[in-house]
Amino acid sequence: MAVKYPVIGHWFRRSNGTLFEVVAVDEQDSTIEIQQFDGTIDEVDLEAWPELFPIEVSAPDDWSGAVDMDPEDYVGQKEGEIPSGFHDPLAFLDKL
């Protein structure tokens, strides 16, 4: 199976099951910037891309991977309801 070229905004899965999204490709420096599902940013050399054995997948339905929320943010939330603080990002900062 041929390795897909990294495209910004596309999601991939490594052979170990880790999900990541391509967020930048710098052809001049031969690097690819990826963001893990948990929000961690990493950089991969273009030459090392095939060694990841990336498989293109759909974006995850669970959006909470990279969102840093405390358990009290979920209190009183109904299934499918957007947690408080996500309608207005500045309102969320007021908790600090």
Structure token digits, residue 36: 């893990």
Which has more confidence, 64 or 31?
Answer: 31
The per-residue pLDDT for 44 is 93
3-state helix, strand, coil in the chain (%, to 5): 20, 25, 55
The per-residue pLDDT for 71 is 53
Rounded distance between C-alpha atoms, residue 86 and residue 91, angstroms: 8
Structural domain contains residue 30: yes
Q: What number is the average pLDDT over the span 3-7?
A: 82
Structural domain contains residue 64: no
Structure token digits, residue 51: 């060694």
The per-residue pLDDT for 93 is 58
Least confident segment among 7-11, 19-23, 81-85: 81-85
Q: What number is the average pLDDT over the span 46-61?
A: 89
Domain count, the chain: 1
Structural domain contains residue 6: no
Structural domain contains residue 74: yes
